[in-house]
């Protein structure tokens, strides 16, 4: 029996298209994984934090723990939705690297 605390939140990943719309990345192996936490906001070139961003997202699926960063999605900008199935609440963050 595991003593691990389980999250009821899930993380879903979306490519951010040039026109600002999002395309769900249903084929990504961690799509729909258990959300464990998000990294801090990304930092802009002026040294200020950028709201609604995260430098990483930590997830678990089928016993595999993974910290995903912008580098985990080469060639595309990606947002993730942190979703709670019971209340239907969600929070959107864009994965972003620091500019400084």
Q: How far apart are CA 32 and CA 18, in angstroms?
A: 24
Q: How far apart are CA 50 and CA 48, in angstroms?
A: 6
pLDDT at res. 85 = 79
- Neighbouring CB atoms inside 10 A of 30's CB total 20
> Please, which pLDDT band fits residue 4 given cuts at 50, 70 and 90?
low
State pLDDT tens for residues 43-55.
Answer: 999 999 999 999 9
Given a contact cutoff of 8 angstroms between Cβ atoms, the answer to whether 64 and 31 are in contact is no
State pLDDT tens for residues 58-100.
Answer: 999 999 999 999 999 999 999 999 998 787 788 999 999 999 7
pLDDT at res. 54 = 96
State pLDDT tens for residues 19-48.
Answer: 999 999 999 999 999 999 999 999 999 999
**Helical residues (DSSP H) of 20-88, grouped into ranges:** none
Q: Where are the domains of the chain?
A: 10-95
pTM (two decimals): 0.87
pLDDT at res. 1 = 40
């Amino acid at each position: 029996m595991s003593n691990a605390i389980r999250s009821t939140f899930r993380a879903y990943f979306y490519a951010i298209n040039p026109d600002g719309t999002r395309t769900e990345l249903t084929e990504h192996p961690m799509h729909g994984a258990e959300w464990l936490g998000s990294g801090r906001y990304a930092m802009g070139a002026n040294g200020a934090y950028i709201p609604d961003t995260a430098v990483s997202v930590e997830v678990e699926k089928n016993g595999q723990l993974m910290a995903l960063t912008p580098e985990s999605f080469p060639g595309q900008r990606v947002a993730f939705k942190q979703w709670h199935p019971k209340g239907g609440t969600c929070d959107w963050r864009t994965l972003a690297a620091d500019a400084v």
